[in-house]
Amino acid sequence: MQIPQDYIIKSDTLSGKIILVTGAGDGIGKVAAKTFAACGATVVLCGRTMAKLESVYDEIEAAGHPQPAIYPINFESAAEKDYDDMCNALEDTFGHLDGLLFNAADLGERTPISNYSVSAWLRCIQVNVNSPFMMTQALLPLLERAGNASILFTSSSVAFKGRAFWGAYSVSKAAAENFMQTLHDELEGTTRIRANSINPGATRTAMRAAAYPAEDPETVKPAEDLMPAYVYLLSDDSIGISGQSFHHSQ
Ligand code: NDP
C-alpha cells in the first residue's frame, strides 16, 4: 500500500498528540522524533543511549517545538515490570498515548543459520519481537484512552521473503508483520486503535552502513525522505486505515 501521493506535512498535522518513538536517538527514529515535534507533537524519546536522546531533546527544544520527554530503556534487558513502570510514568505525565512508533531494532548477525550465535539470535528476537509485545501489552490502556491512536511497526523487505544470512533479523521482521496483523484483527471493531507497518526501504543510517559496508552512503536516500509517510500514518489523516503494510519506494 502507498500513502497518498504528494502528502504534505504541516506544522500542526500532529498538534496536541503524544507520540512515543523507540530508538529515537539515532537514524530513522531520530529524524522521525524531530519531524513529529515539528508537526506539533509532544514526543517521548525512548532509547538506550542517554547522550543521544539528550541531543535530540536539545534540538527539539532549540527549535521551539513542544517540549519532549526522555524515557531511557534498553530493550535487550527490559522485563515486564519495566514496561509496567513505563506505562505508569506515561499515565502520570500525559494520561494517554496517541501514537507509538516501534522503530528500534537489532540487526543481529549476517551469517548462515549453521553459524549463527545463539546469544545474538536471542538478543535480536528480544529487541525486535518480545519487547514490542511487552510494550504493546503494557501501553494498550493508554492507547485506548486516546481518541484515535496509531501504532506503527517498522518492517523490512526481508519480512516478506527470508534472505540467506539475515537470520534472526529476517525472522523478527516477519514476526513484526504478523504481530501487526494479529493486533489489528483483535482491535478492529472494539477500539479506535489502528496498527500498520512500514518498510522504509534502503535508508542512510548506521544500521544500513553496518549491513552494507561496501555501499557508498550517498547513493542511499536520507531518512527525511520517509517522513511524509511516517507523519501520515501517525496523524488523523490515516484514520480508518489499519492492518496494512506500507512500502516506501526506494
Ligand atoms: P539505527 O541503527 O540507525 O538506529 C536504531 C535505533 O534503535 C538506535 O537509536 C538504537 O539505539 C536503537 N536500539 C537498538 N537496540 C536497542 C536496544 N537494545 N534498546 C534500546 N534501543 C535500541 O537503525 P535505522 O534507523 O536504520 O533503523 C530504524 C528501523 O528501520 C529499524 O527497525 C530497522 O530494522 C528498519 N529498517 C531500516 C532500513 C535502513 O535501510 N536503514 C531498511 C529497512 C528497515 P543506539 O543509538 O543507542 O544504538
Spell out the domains of the chain, with CATH numbers in brackets. 18-247 (3.40.50.720)
Model pTM above 0.95: yes
- pLDDT, tens digit (0-9, with 9 covering 90-100), for 110-125: 999 999 999 999 999 9
Q: Of the listed 169, 212, 230, 232, which one is catalytic? A: 169
| pLDDT score for 39 | 98
| pLDDT score for 6 | 87
C-alpha cell at 103: 522503530
Determine the Cα–Cα distance for residues 106 and 197; give it in Å rounded to an integer. Answer: 17
Ligand 1 geometric centre to CA of 48 (Å): 11
- pLDDT, tens digit (0-9, with 9 covering 90-100), for 2-31: 788 889 999 999 999 999 999 999 999 999
| pLDDT score for 57 | 98
Q: Indicate if ligand 1 lies below 6 Å from the C-beta of 31.
A: no
What is the CB neighbour count within 10 angstroms for residue 128?
26
Q: Which amino acid is at 61?
A: E
Q: Indicate if ligand 1 lies below 6 Å from the C-beta of 67.
A: no
Q: Indicate if ligand 1 lies below 6 Å from the C-beta of 105.
A: yes
| pLDDT score for 4 | 85
| pLDDT score for 1 | 74
CA distances from 9 to 14, 93, 242 (A): 9, 27, 20
Q: Taking the alpha carbons of 155, 161, 163, 168 in that order, is the dihedral positive or negative?
A: positive
Indicate the angle between helix axes 227-234 and 27-38, nearest 10 degrees. 60
Largest CA distance in the chain: 52
Residue 168 near residue 107, CB atoms below 8 Å: no
CA distances from 192 to 184, 197, 246 (A): 10, 17, 20
Tell me which of 26, 160, 216 to substitute to probe ligand 1's pocket, judged by most ligand atoms within 8 Å of the beta carbon.
26
C-alpha cell at 173: 521482521
Backbone φ and ψ of 43, nearest 5°: -105, 135
| pLDDT score for 24 | 98
C-alpha cell at 8: 504534505
Phi-psi region of 240 (alpha: psi -120 to 50; beta: other; left: phi over 0): left
| pLDDT score for 162 | 96
Q: Taking the alpha carbons of 48, 52, 55, 59 in that order, is the dihedral positive or negative?
A: negative
**Active site annotation includes 83:** no
Tens place of pLDDT for every residue, the chain, 250 residues? 778 888 999 999 999 999 999 999 999 999 999 999 999 999 999 999 999 999 999 999 999 999 999 999 999 999 999 999 999 999 999 999 999 999 999 999 999 999 999 999 999 999 999 999 999 999 999 999 998 999 999 999 999 999 999 999 999 999 999 999 999 999 999 999 999 999 999 999 999 999 999 999 999 999 999 999 999 999 999 999 999 999 987 6
Identify the bridge partners of residue 69 per DSSP, sorted by sequence position: 44
Find where cell 520527554 sits.
69
